[in-house]
């Protein structure tokens, strides 16, 4: 079984995000970047399936600027076998990414695509679902447990009401949630080995996809600052403030 794992380069989750002065987006110049945390979970799950003897090859895919190759190297150090970089300076939105992934799937013929449920930069949570629609494959989103037996994939999903279990016929799409696993740290020997693993670079044109954005960002602003809290001296004063000032009772 071949597993395809898309990985995205995003602002590191430990970095305080700053809005650009012209309000066109968030500042990325000189900012630490890393692999999207949900994609780390996806790589980890693929590696565990390979360690169980279920998967035979893991292909990591990233899209964007040339520096995305660093994100692929991280995936290779975690256990992926080879990488594909779709290099583009365009603002790659979920539909464009899904179309590019569909073209790569047509070339690579994976049995399973595992990707993070969302990226922490735009929180779209749409690429996996769009890819499933384009391919006509079944999907198990927000997965907290994945089991493969023969040609059947069982996914336990995290939903608003609790957990839902679905059985899917392979090939299929899975998007990972936080509780699926805990990603491993890449060891130094594996980091060194990752340097020798192959990464193929291509462009959207090579895949026959137009990555032009369909959505236009009008403005990006920081959330309004919250007002300081107020201490009250009694329950009666609290009720009075809720009634007269907050007007919630």
Task: Find out whether 72 and 94 touch, Cβ atoms under 8 Å.
Answer: no
Query: Binning pLDDT at 50, 70 and 90, where does residue 237 land?
Result: very high
Q: How many residues does the chain have?
A: 249
Task: Find out whether 14 and 71 touch, Cβ atoms under 8 Å.
Answer: no
Q: What is the per-residue pLDDT across 45-59, written as a single tens digit (0 to 9) for each?
A: 999 999 999 999 999
Task: Find out whether 167 and 150 touch, Cβ atoms under 8 Å.
Answer: no
pLDDT of amino acid 196:
94
Q: What is the per-residue pLDDT across 143-184, written as a single tens digit (0 to 9) for each?
A: 999 999 999 999 999 999 899 999 999 999 999 999 999 999
Question: H or E stretch including 101?
Answer: helix 94-108
Q: Alpha carbon of 238 to those of 13, 228, 229, 243: distances in Å?
A: 38, 16, 12, 9
| 109: three-class secondary structure by DSSP | coil
In CATH, 2-244 is 3.40.50.620: yes
pLDDT of amino acid 53:
96
Q: What is the per-residue pLDDT across 65-88, written as a single tens digit (0 to 9) for each?
A: 999 999 999 999 999 999 999 999
| 125: three-class secondary structure by DSSP | coil
* pLDDT of 230 higher than 90: no
pLDDT of amino acid 247:
87
Query: Binning pLDDT at 50, 70 and 90, where does residue 223 land?
Result: confident
């Amino acid at each position: 079984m071949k597993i395809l794992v898309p990985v995205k380069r995003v602002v590191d989750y430990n970095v305080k995000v700053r809005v650009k002065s012209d309000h066109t987006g968030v500042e990325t110049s000189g900012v630490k970047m890393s692999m999207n945390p949900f994609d780390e979970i996806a790589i980890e799950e693929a590696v565990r399936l390979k360690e169980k003897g279920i998967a035979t090859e893991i292909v990591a895919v990233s899209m964007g600027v040339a520096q995305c190759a660093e994100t692929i190297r991280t995936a290779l150090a975690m256990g992926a076998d080879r990488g594909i970089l779709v290099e583009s300076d365009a603002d790659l939105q979920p539909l464009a990414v899904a179309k590019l992934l569909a073209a790569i799937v047509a070339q690579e013929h994976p049995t399973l695509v595992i990707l993070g449920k969302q990226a922490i930069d735009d929180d779209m949570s749409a690429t996996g679902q769009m890819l499933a629609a384009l391919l006509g494959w079944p999907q198990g989103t927000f997965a907290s447990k994945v089991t493969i037996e023969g040609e059947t994939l069982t996914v336990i999903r995290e939903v608003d009401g609790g957990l839902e279990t679905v059985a899917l016929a392979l090939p299929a799409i899975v998007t990972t949630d936080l509780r699926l696993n805990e990603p491993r740290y890449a060891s130094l020997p594996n980091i060194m080995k990752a340097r020798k693993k192959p990464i193929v670079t291509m462009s959207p044109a090579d895949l026959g996809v137009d990555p032009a954005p369909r959505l236009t960002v009008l403005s990006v602003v920081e959330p309004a600052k919250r007002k300081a809290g107020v201490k009250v001296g009694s329950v009666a004063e609290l009720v009075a403030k809720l009634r007269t000032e907050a007007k919630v009772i």
